[in-house]
Amino acid sequence: MNRIALLSRHLAPSPASAIGGQNLLAGKVVLVTGAGSGLGRAVSLALAADGAAKIVLAGRRRDPLDATAAEIASLCGGSCETLVVPTDTTEEASVARLFEAIRAHGSGRLDVLFNNAGVGAPAVPMDELPVSEWRRVVDTNLTGVFLCTREAFRLMKAQTPRG
């Protein structure tokens, strides 16, 4: 069993989100970046299985996001909504559009942000790493996380109750 399958199994409906008999995910809106593959996909499915009301699926490519949305639909049978928003988290305007879509959909609120979208640098000695690769990693893993977190703070501060 690979690591992702193991994680999916570990995160499948579990008491992790139920404390004192209360499901902490019930009714919650969650944004997962990088939701079309790997950990983001596995966590999106686990959140749906654990009772989240809506999962916003973001990533650059629409097809893998649609595939995750279809898996959630067959898992939840209508008890959980998805919103697919193709997004490049390194681009300020793209992240702004993502949050506009969240504001415009249903309750317009966000309770949880899972900042998962990320890339790795090629496994080469540091003296062989092109600065373009360095910048790609920093743009995605730092600036992308900052942009999503900043927008989430703005939305969560303005909503009642806050996220």
Binding site for ligand NAP (CB under 6 A): 33-34, 36-40, 59-61, 64, 87-90, 116-120, 140, 144
Least spacing, CB of residue 109 vs ligand NAP, in Å: 22
Paired tokens of 17: 């989100």
Least spacing, CB of residue 49 vs ligand NAP, in Å: 18
Of 36 and 51, which has the nearer Cβ to ligand NAP?
A: 36
Of 79 and 134, which has the nearer Cβ to ligand NAP?
A: 134
Distance CA 82, CA 29 (A): 9
Helices 38-49 and 62-76: crossing angle in degrees, nearest 10, is 20
CA end-to-end distance (rounded Å), the chain: 35
Least spacing, CB of residue 22 vs ligand NAP, in Å: 29
Torsion 24-27-31-35 (CA) sign: positive
Of 23 and 141, which has the nearer Cβ to ligand NAP?
A: 141
